[in-house]
Amino acid sequence: MTPRAPFNELRDAAARGDWDGCRSASAAALTRLSWGQARPLVLRALRDRWPVFQALHPQIAWPGPWLAGATVQPDWEVEPEGPGGGNFIQALESLAAAENHPEQWVEDAVEAVAGAIMTEVIVVGAAAYPERWRRWYRAAQLGQVTDDLEPIVYHPDAQAAARRGWLAWAESLAQVQ
């Protein structure tokens, strides 16, 4: 495998809208880095989406200072009720796991980045289909399944957000090599 192969695979997967391919190529690229090299990139991916989260969840303020390196106690029990909130909190949890479990930081870092990108995807798709999102969220809270999430995630604007997110991630990874 050439040194640029994981980045090319990530770019190709992003262009195809292949979420699993993006995750796999991200893991392959990250294995070429140390956590010290990857950490700032993962942080940037989350920081870039902090304004998206904050706009819909202004009452949940701790992630901003936490991402900036402040000693803040994260509230992992918080359950944001707006679009993308749960995805962003899960992304933060994955970042914390990468920090605390060096034996599996690559998997956790991929989860953090994917969750951050999904935050934006859900926010964009939910804006296009607010009633579908509300139905899906109510059903999810009750442990029920609906077919409302798929149109949200696959809305053209949401897919464009996913492509932009994964391509930006690929570019940040490529700059480290």
Domain map of the chain by residue range? 5-176
Q: Which pLDDT does position 121 carry in this prediction? A: 95
Kindly report, residue by residue over 29-55, the tens digit of the pLDDT: 999 999 999 999 999 999 999 999 999
Q: Which pLDDT does position 132 carry in this prediction? A: 93
State yes or no: pLDDT of 1 exceeds 60.
no
State yes or no: pLDDT of 166 exceeds 70.
yes
Q: Please give the average per-residue pLDDT across 66-87, as a whole number.
A: 85
- Across the chain, mean pLDDT equals 91
Q: Which parts of 57-129 fold into alpha helices (H)?
A: 63-67, 85-100, 105-128
State yes or no: pLDDT of 139 exceeds 80.
yes
Q: Which pLDDT does position 119 carry in this prediction? A: 95
Q: What is the amino acid identity at position 167?
A: L
Residue 83 pLDDT grade (very low, low, confident, very high; cuts 50, 70, 90): confident
Kindly report, residue by residue over 92-134, the tens digit of the pLDDT: 999 999 999 988 999 999 999 999 999 999 999 999 999 999 9
Q: Which pLDDT does position 2 carry in this prediction? A: 63
Distances (CA, A) of 109 to 140, 154, 161: 26, 24, 20
Find, among 118, 112, 119, 93, the residue nearest to 39 by Cα. 112
Q: Which pLDDT does position 3 carry in this prediction? A: 60
Percent over 70 (pLDDT), the chain: 97
Length reported for the chain: 177
Find, among 35, 3, 36, 6, the residue nearest to 166 by Cα. 6
Given a contact cutoff of 8 angstroms between Cβ atoms, the answer to whether 116 and 53 are in contact is no
Phi-psi region of 79 (alpha: psi -120 to 50; beta: other; left: phi over 0): beta
State yes or no: pLDDT of 78 exceeds 90.
no
